[in-house]
């Protein structure tokens, strides 16, 4: 286990500590700074994961450290600089806000649940956050991934990290995992409402592209359900938006290396749409629940430039769900489904307040 995932020293166990339930929201990760050095550390951890690059280590690691990291670190650092905020990495900022708002939503609905967040690569590391939760008395932990569609390259890698952590603990909490929610009604509805709000403010486009993160095509043939789950999300979202098949396109972005990845690729798709006469194009990334480098820089800048360079006139990237109220509610309901049967130390007063609030909302809606 990497040093950053290990506690500095074994914590002293406190007998008689009151047990509690916790949720750990896990996202992919981000460098700590938009510098070549920080990006290199992040990419080294990310691209060395055998779940991410399924090439024998003896062949892959010399290429990674000898050729890819020296070149890609500087290039990626330049891209991160273009989207970095005063608060830090957008992915980290949004994931932290989601965790805080999720804990608040659960509290408003009468559930006393501790919510933390972690990154699979970079900081805060999954092992460290699990240590903190367990040492605070969490005897039941729900690992909630920020990946609506299951993939061995993402979801399974989080499970690997949790499994590695369990080897460092004498007393292991009960663990549950949220592996997917690609067809969850609340998630799809939150996406639809996000897009509809954008259209009310900016007008409807000629065409909508739904861009998902790509993976090598061989993963599909090996049984990974990611491709099918992306297609189902796109179909359900199109139904919510009442789009005909010719009004939207599903595509896959962020291809890496020379191998064939899931098609169609996003940038060539957008370029072809511009050449066919599509003047106004919107692009949304349903597989990302928080804005990050792949959405803000790749889709918001690179793909935009490609569309305009090929004859398109208006291009808009529709931001991710981030901390939208509808999304936090959907995330809360997904969490509650997977917490079913676990004691959440619900406070009676909080439950009654939540019930009163819900009754008042219903009365307001019917008035």
Q: Which of 128, 133, 97 is nearest to 113 (CA)?
A: 133
Crossing angle for the helix pair 185-202 and 325-339, nearest 10 degrees? 180
* DSSP state, residue 69: H
Range list of β-strands (E), the chain: 20-30, 114-122, 138-145, 174-178, 207-213, 248-253, 280-284, 314-318
**Cα 202 to Cα 198, 205, 249, 303, 317, distances in angstroms:** 6, 9, 20, 19, 11
CA atoms of 303 and 310, how far apart (whole Å): 11
- Are the C-beta atoms of 281 and 299 separated by less than 8 Å? no
Q: Is 246 annotated as a binding residue?
A: no
Q: Is 252 exposed, middle or buried (0-12, 13-18, 19+ CB in 10 A)?
A: buried
CA atoms of 113 and 131, how far apart (whole Å): 16
Residue with token string 């909080």: 350
Classified as helix, coil or strand, 121 is strand
CA atoms of 101 and 329, how far apart (whole Å): 9
Classified as helix, coil or strand, 33 is coil
Q: Is 78 annotated as a binding residue?
A: no
* DSSP state, residue 152: T
Classified as helix, coil or strand, 350 is helix
Crossing angle for the helix pair 226-241 and 185-202, nearest 10 degrees? 50
Classified as helix, coil or strand, 55 is coil
Binding site for Fe(2+), residues? 213, 294
Binding site, residues? 213, 294
């Amino acid at each position: 286990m990497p040093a950053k995932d290990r506690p500095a020293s074994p914590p002293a166990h406190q007998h008689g500590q009151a047990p509690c339930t916790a949720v750990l929201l896990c996202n992919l990760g981000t460098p700590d700074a938009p510098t070549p050095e920080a990006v290199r550390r992040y990419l080294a951890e990310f691209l060395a994961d055998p779940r991410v690059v399924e090439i024998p280590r003896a062949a892959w690691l010399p290429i990674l450290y000898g050729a890819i990291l020296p070149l890609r670190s500087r290039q990626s650092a330049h891209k991160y600089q273009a989207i970095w905020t005063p608060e830090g990495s957008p992915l980290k900022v949004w994931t932290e806000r989601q965790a805080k708002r999720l804990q608040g939503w659960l509290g408003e609905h009468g559930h006393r649940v501790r919510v933390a967040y972690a990154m699979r690569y970079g900081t805060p590391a999954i092992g460290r956050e699990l240590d903190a939760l367990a040492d605070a008395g969490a005897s039941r932990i729900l690992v909630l991934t920020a990946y609506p569609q299951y993939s061995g390259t993402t979801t399974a890698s989080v499970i690997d990290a949790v499994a590695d952590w369990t080897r460092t603990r004498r007393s292991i909490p009960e663990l549950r995992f949220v592996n997917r929610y690609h067809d969850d009604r609340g998630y799809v509805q939150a996406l639809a409402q996000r897009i509809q709000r954008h259209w009310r403010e900016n007008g409807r486009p000629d065409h909508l592209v739904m861009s998902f993160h790509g993976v090598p095509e061989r993963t599909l043939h090996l049984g990974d359900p990611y491709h099918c789950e992306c297609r189902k999300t796109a179909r359900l979202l199109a139904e919510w938006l009442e789009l005909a098949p010719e009004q939207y396109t599903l595509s896959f972005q962020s291809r890496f290396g020379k191998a064939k990845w899931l098609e169609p690729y996003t940038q060539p798709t957008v370029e072809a749409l511009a050449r066919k006469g599509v003047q106004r194009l919107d692009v949304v990334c349903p597989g990302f629940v928080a804005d990050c480098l792949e959405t803000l820089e790749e889709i918001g800048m690179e793909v935009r430039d490609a569309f305009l360079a090929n004859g398109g006139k208006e291009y808009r990237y529709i931001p991710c769900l981030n901390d939208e109220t509808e999304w936090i509610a959907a995330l809360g309901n997904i969490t509650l489904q997977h917490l079913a049967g676990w004691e959440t130390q619900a406070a009676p007063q909080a439950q009654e307040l939540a019930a009163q609030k819900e009754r008042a909302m219903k009365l307001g809606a019917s008035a």
